[in-house]
A and B are shown apart, each in its own frame.
Chain A
């Protein structure tokens, strides 16, 4: 599957929250990667971070917390057209791809291989 960054949020789609990470800075390289990728140091309140997985859109909503570097956290939302129901199993498979995109971007010691092995050991239902 292909993860791509897109510039605009698709019209006519609603946000379905999938997960919330309150502490991106727990391992700060994750926070830095997202800050650089989405230009958050220069413009923290700019356009939303939108990614697609094989054309299906997901929005990264960055959140702040007083006393911590921005972004302190991130919500990942599925962008679902109109009032159509969320395909939960597809969304979880796409989240795996987004997780792989994230660790690949953050780089060593984090890796897609470690994510895949971990997912096999723990029998993650949505693993490829």
Chain B
């Protein structure tokens, strides 16, 4: 199991040239990167399934160049963080609470939350738990509600088959469908992904038991079925997130065919009429793979305005 950046394959480490740091969150070892001036507003970059901090590798430099602090955790179960084998470790509540512990442990203030995929429900749950630590929020290819849900997530073929009982630990666990091929299918420039991305995602999920969260997390997506296990937490998010009056921005992949822009980006604007965007960039669901630097430039401009002038509204 790889637990630090310097233990990664050389080509991967070279593209993520930062110092490994660790913090204990709820008893688990969380890996994170923390770069930039300590007294600058921190931009907290939150990934989802099945990625890790490396997803943000091209987003980080423009933020640092703008003088911002950048904090990039690997969610417990992914990347260089501890990967608990017990399924009960991987509830939405536990993952959100891990981010609360990170916010408290690093005593982060004036935080700009940047949320992608499961970084949305977990990050926004942490934000609602510690609102005084938040300055602004950016969302991209994510959601925080029960409905509307993605048509893709309702399909038996392929999505629900991928994580159904027994099929999940087989297809996504033993057969490793997600970190390699799964991300590949949700990028635009697949040749670039094969060259710069794939090895990084596969290296940190090299064994079947390490890939547990790749099939457990999909089971927490609410679909209005008896199988919904996180609907209560999503209802709580629905009650709290629209009432946030923080500066907000919406960034989306033009080619996103999982969380389509017309439904999901539009929902964020419905919740937050004051939000900037939608900033459309080249990208499918893993838009950072195609437009990481462009996203970094958008976030840097947004974060500077949001944290130094008292916000955009």
Contact surface of A with B, Cβ cutoff 8 Å: 18-28, 30-31, 74, 76, 92, 95-96, 98-99, 102-103, 109-111, 113-115, 117-119, 121-126
Asked if residues B173 and A122 are in contact (CB atoms below 8 Å), the reply is no
Q: Which residues of A contact B175 (CB under 8 A)?
A: 92, 122, 124-126
- Please, which residues of chain B bring their CB within 8 A of the CB of A98? 166
Closest B residue to A91 by beta carbon equals B174
Contacts of A102 in B (CB 8 A): 166-167
**Are A118 and B171 also in contact (CB < 8 A) when A24-B165, A26-B227, A124-B177 are?**
yes
Known: A26-B165, A110-B161. A122 touches B226 (CB 8 A): no
- Number of chain B residues whose Cβ lies closer than 8 Å to a Cβ of chain A: 27
A122 touches B171 (CB 8 A): yes
Residues of A within 8 Å of B162, CB to CB, are 118, 122
Scoring B residues 42 to 62 as 1 if CB is less than 8 Å from chain A, else 0, what string do you get?
000000000000000000000
Residue ID in chain B nearest A108 by CB atoms: B156
Q: Roughly how many angstroms separate A19 CA and B169 CA in the complex, as a whole number?
A: 6
Is B185 in contact with chain A by the CB < 8 A criterion?
yes
For B166, list chain A residues within 8 Å (CB): 19, 21, 24, 30, 74, 76, 98-99, 102
**When each residue 135-161 of chain B gets 1 if its CB lies under 8 Å from chain A and 0 otherwise, what string results?**
000000000000000000000111011
Give the complex CA separation of A119 and B164 in angstroms.
13
Query: What's the least CB distance linking A116 to chain B, in Å?
Result: 9
Residue among A26, A117, A121, A125 with max Cβ neighbours from chain B (10 Å) = A26
Chain A: which residue is nearest B163 at the CB level? A26
Besides A95-B174, A110-B164, 10 new A-B residue pairs in contact (Cβ under 8 A), listed by A number: A21-B166, A26-B229, A27-B227, A30-B166, A95-B170, A99-B170, A114-B157, A122-B162, A122-B177, A123-B177
